Amino acid sequence: MIIAIDGPAASGKSTTAKIVAEKLGFTYLDTGAMYRCVTLAMINAGIHVSNTKQINDLLENISIDLLDKNGKLQIMMNNLDVSDDIRSGKVTENVSAVSALKNVREAMVKMQRNIASKTNCVMEGRDIGTVVFPNAEYKFYLSADSVVRAERRQRDLLALGDEKSIQELIEDINRRDEYDSSREISPLKKAEDAIDINTTDLTIDGQVSKIIEIVNKQKTK
Ligand code: DC
């Protein structure tokens, strides 16, 4: 079974998806982390987004594993723990351009479908309900006011020791949303049959309960 959770940057998808997965005993799949791994690998190797051949070679050789380490998601790229590195400002600045590339999307979608063929999962991203799993049993679209999203991102970054102003973060979030929603391939958009959840005034517990309630209600039908 697939529970798809899509939505823009910092809408609360990751935290919500992770707890929903824990509560249901499902695997949690953060697809944004996968695009971030490719971006980090390209930065490390000095590969430009226009160099399709080098990107294809990189995609053929990259391994990405999302592990559950004592309840915390550990992101492994080529057997190295990159959980913190993929959240750096440099990766965040470049990830939208990398995730707009056709070859990158094809490779990631293939990995995502492969993982989901083996286990029940809560998968979060931008195109899960529209492209990766259009037939997912449950689809949710999380949205929130951009100031609230910037405040959330500020707290996450502070925990990593990175200080940024709210204004800077609002601009960063708006720029990424614009890029992700207007790209040609698999743009960020709500699937017609997804349930919209505005998280502006919701706590994490509130978001989680809403989703679990809907899943349980439909399961018993
Ligand atoms: O959720 P996030 O901020 O970690 O995602 C990083 C970027 O990856 C985001 O700007 C768009 C891209 N992405 C995507 O294109 N498709 C997905 N399914 C998930 C993320």
Pairwise CA distance, residues 53 & 190, whole Å? 32
With H, G, I as helix, E, B as strand and everything else as coil, classify residue 27. Answer: strand
pLDDT recorded at residue 49: 97
Q: Minimal CA–CA distance to 5: which of 212, 180, 201?
A: 212
Nearest residue CA, atom 20 of ligand 1? Answer: 32
Nearest residue CA, atom 4 of ligand 1? Answer: 32
CB of 5 shorter than 6 A to ligand 1: no
Distances (CA, A) of 118 to 1, 65, 87, 192: 10, 14, 28, 27
CB of 176 shorter than 6 A to ligand 1: yes
Residue at 65 is within a domain = yes
Pairwise CA distance, residues 170 & 8, whole Å? 12
Residue at 7 is within a domain = yes
CB of 180 shorter than 6 A to ligand 1: yes
Q: Which atom of ligand 1 is nearest to the CA of 127?
A: 18
CB of 95 shorter than 6 A to ligand 1: yes
Nearest residue CA, atom 13 of ligand 1? Answer: 32
Q: Which atom of ligand 1 is nearest to the CA of 36?
A: 6
CB of 154 shorter than 6 A to ligand 1: no
pTM (2 d.p.):
0.93
Q: Which domain holds residue 102?
A: 2-214
Q: Minimal CA–CA distance to 34: which of 119, 152, 114?
A: 114
Max Cα separation, the chain?
53
Pairwise CA distance, residues 10 & 13, whole Å? 7
Pairwise CA distance, residues 66 & 76, whole Å? 6
Residue at 221 is within a domain = no
Residue at 16 is within a domain = yes
State how beta strands 80-81 and 72-77 pair: antiparallel
How far apart are the CA of 196 and the centre of ligand 1, in A?
19
Q: Minimal CA–CA distance to 95: which of 132, 40, 56, 28?
A: 40
pLDDT recorded at residue 162: 84
Q: What is the CATH number of the domain that holds 160?
A: 3.40.50.300
Residue at 219 is within a domain = no
Nearest residue CA, atom 16 of ligand 1? Answer: 126
Residue at 144 is within a domain = yes
Q: Which atom of ligand 1 is nearest to the CA of 132?
A: 18
Residue at 71 is within a domain = yes
How far apart are the CA of 213 and the centre of ligand 1, in A?
26
Nearest residue CA, atom 6 of ligand 1? Answer: 32
Residue at 220 is within a domain = no
Please state the domain count of the chain.
Answer: 1
pLDDT per residue, tens digit, the chain (221 aa), is 999 999 998 899 999 999 999 999 999 999 999 999 999 999 999 999 999 999 999 999 999 999 988 878 899 999 999 999 999 889 999 999 999 999 999 999 999 999 999 999 999 999 999 999 999 999 999 999 999 999 998 998 898 888 999 999 999 999 989 988 999 999 999 999 999 999 999 999 999 999 999 998 876 65
Q: H/E element holding 69?
A: strand 64-69
CB of 153 shorter than 6 A to ligand 1: no
Distances (CA, A) of 71 to 48, 76, 122: 35, 15, 15
**Phi and psi at residue 123, in whole multiples of 5°?**
-115, 125
Side-chain half-sphere of 60: how many Cα atoms within 13 Å?
6
CB of 9 shorter than 6 A to ligand 1: yes
